[in-house]
Amino acid sequence: MTTFLIILIAILLDLTIGELPNKIHPVVLIGNMITFLKNHLTSNNRFTGMLIALITVFTTVIITGIILTIADLNIISSIIIGSIIFSTTFSIKFLITSVEKIQKDLSTNLDAARKSVSYLVSRDTKDLTEAEITSATIETLTENITDSIISPILYGFIFNIPFAMMFRVINTLDAMLGYKTKELINIGYFSARLDDVLNYIPARIAGLYVVFAAFCLRYDWKKSYKMLRRDARKTPSPNSGYPMAATAGALNIMLVKKDVYKLGDKRNKLTSKQISKAINITKVSTLLFIVTLYIINLLISLIILG
């Protein structure tokens, strides 16, 4: 029960307080470490990329383990410190707040919306239309149901906090190095493949929970499931398409990344209203997932207690 209690407290911390200050936020410190290693291990090859990943992962996990071991001397400190550390491995409030800012900018200033969405996506945003900004926003929001919510919480639930932190390190490595540019295609290869492996099961779980959320919200859940099966594998990533395709189906929209993929059927226009619905899907799928973990935790506790 302690693990699930830590998960609940961590979620409450994230939803109420939000992110820790940058100076002490583990993900920011991890990013600084990755940048330092990349600048000092100058050979641009796969071995260097693997070395950067392994050093960053082991350093972070060891430090996390030491802090948690010290905190375990007292049950109260164990829960408090564990909850704070675990809350840094996922991001619900920041994700939704960032998307809501883009939505607000869309209604007032298209250039501001282009700038806001540029912080969340890798594509060039300077000439995006309103529909293209809306698509990019919904894509990054729903893709992050896996990366920023389902994966870290699932790994924390199954393997405890150090594994969740390991996932966050690998996901950060992928976000910083995992691009097919001339500079990063070799050095980011190992991190990108690790991220693909760790997100493989959570992405498919996320896709199904989007369908469940669509059912609860009375969106088009049948189309959501259909698009999940039809379009989920159309993205270059083996994982990102699952929650995105399911969301496209639920909202009867087409999500497009030019010259890369098209997900869903274009029946409804891409407008700010669709962003609100995608936010609803994110919130409800997250809630359903947490409820599922609670039920599993309760059943395990009952079995152990006999």
* Long-range pairs of 194-197 with CB within 8 A, sequence gap ≥ 24: 194/53, 194/170, 195/170, 195/171, 196/237, 196/238, 196/239
* For range 92-106, the mean pLDDT: 96
* For range 19-47, the mean pLDDT: 95
The whole-number pLDDT of residue 2 equals 84
Q: pLDDT band at residue 47, thresholds of 50, 70 and 90? A: very high
* Average pLDDT of the chain to the nearest whole number: 96
The whole-number pLDDT of residue 101 equals 96
Query: Percentage of residues in the chain with pLDDT exceeding 70?
Result: 99
Q: pLDDT band at residue 83, thresholds of 50, 70 and 90? A: very high
For residue range 221-246, list pLDDT tens digits in order.
999 999 999 999 999 999 999 999 99
CB 244 within 8 Å of CB 139: yes
Tokens 């492996």 sit on residue: 197
CA–CA separation, 227 vs 246, rounded Å?
Answer: 6
pLDDT over 80 (residue 108): yes
